[in-house]
Each structure stands twice: as C-alpha cells, then as structure tokens.
C-alpha cells in the first residue's frame, strides 16, 4: 500500500522530464495516473515504463492543455474512467527565450497559453469534481524566475509569476472544500528544456508529500527544493 493508494492524479507534460518522473513515482505510491501531453509517443513511453514495473494504472490522453476544447474532451474521458480526481500536477511548460523588445505577439501569446492559461483551464476543469468530493491537491510547478525575472525570458518569467498568483487565489477560494493548492519550485532539472541540473526523480518525494497533505495542510505556499 502506497501513500497515494487509490488516488487519481492528472499530470500535464507527463511525456518527459519531471512529468514522467512524477507519474512513475505517483504510480509507485499506488495512484492512478492520467498522462497529458502533446506528444503521444512520449506519453506512451511513460505508460510503458509504469506497466513494465507493474506499479499502477495509467491513462494516456494526448492533449494540448492550452486548447479549451481539448481540455474538455480530456476531462470527459477521465470522468468515464475514474469516479474522482484527487490530484492535479500542472507541470507542462514552454521555456523559450525572448526579450520584451523582441518578442512577437504570437511568441508571447504561445508561452502564456502553455505556462499560464493551460494550468488555469485544467484547474477550472477539475474543481467541480474536487468540490463534490471535498478533497483536492493541486500543485503548480513554478520557477525562481517568477519572483526575480530573468533578462531574455520575459514571457516565461511573467507566466510563472502569474501561475504563483493563480495558486494563491485558488487556495483562498477553495479552502472550505479541503482543496489545497501550492506552487513547487524544483530548481534546475536535467530535462529536454535544460541540459544540466538534477535528475528529476530527486524531487518527486516533495511532490508526493504535497499531493498527500492532510486536511488543514499548507495551502497557497511556494515550496522550493
């Protein structure tokens, strides 16, 4: 029996990096994991790793989280497969360079859509079921750039700052339903977005802890690895 036994967790960006490591770690703790991402083959690779270890049930749902219709379709499929949604990990991200003076409207809009609008859409989608169950744990993956910015990464920094504000707002609005929302900054990880850093599996213990917080646990906080 794992600490997340029987829980259903949605993980965006589950095809690689931190998303994949989190999906595997959550499955090892007994969770049913829903794998969201834009690249089907990567999601299937994550699902295969979970299946090979015989550690849990996974559902692959290719989804562009910035598209409201695709999010709606994904939620319909999830509802058909699971009675409840307990955990949401907003991990999917786009980390692209661009100074304020040089970013085009399209480049800015694309990064805000993936890094901020997507988490908003998923959060909005899961809240009705979480409210119904009077239980939910939402974890938004953030970055140090949210508070100190970074020259050359204007859109990403702004989106992450907005995501932390969304986290605090959600925590305040959903407290009466035992829905806890927190941000998590894993630091620099070695992923497709970054060639150096920690192995993503190093930080999954923190995410398991946040995903299993007891009633009255921390909410509206930003946890840094």
CA distance 15 to 28: 17
What phi, psi does 221 have (nearest 5°)? Answer: -100, 165
CA 48 to chain centre: 20
Please say whether the beta carbons of 27 and 33 come within 8 A: yes
Lookup: tokens for 225: 């690895």
Of 135, 153, 156, 184, which is the active-site residue? Answer: 156
Please state, in angstroms and as integers, the Cα–Cα distance from residue 181 to each residue in 70, 108, 138, 160, following that order.
23, 26, 5, 15
Q: Residue 151, SS3?
A: coil
Residue 135 among the catalytic residues: no
Instruction: List, by residue number, the catalytic residues.
Output: 156
């Amino acid at each position: 029996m794992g600490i997340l036994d029987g829980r259903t967790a949605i993980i965006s960006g589950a095809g690689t990096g931190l998303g994949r490591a989190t999906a595997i770690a959550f499955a090892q703790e007994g969770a049913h994991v829903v794998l969201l991402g834009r690249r089907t083959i990567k999601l299937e690779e994550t699902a295969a790793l979970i299946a090979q270890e015989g550690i849990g049930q996974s559902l692959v749902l290719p989804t562009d989280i910035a598209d409201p219709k695709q999010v709606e379709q994904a939620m319909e499929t999830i509802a058909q497969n699971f009675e409840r949604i307990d955990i949401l990990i907003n991990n999917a991200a786009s980390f692209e360079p661009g100074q304020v003076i040089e970013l085009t409207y399209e480049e800015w809009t694309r990064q805000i859509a993936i890094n901020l609008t997507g988490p908003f859409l998923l959060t909005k989608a899961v809240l009705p079921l979480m409210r119904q169950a009077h239980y939910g744990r939402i974890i938004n993956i953030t970055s140090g750039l949210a508070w100190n910015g970074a020259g050359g990464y204007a859109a990403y920094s702004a989106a992450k700052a907005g995501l932390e504000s969304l986290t605090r707002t959600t925590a305040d609005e959903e407290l009466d339903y035992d829905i806890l929302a927190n941000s998590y900054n894993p630091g620099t990880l070695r992923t497709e977005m970054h060639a150096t850093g920690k192995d993503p599996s190093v930080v999954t213990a923190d995410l398991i802890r946040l995903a299993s917080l007891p009633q009255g646990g921390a909410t509206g906080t930003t946890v840094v690895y």
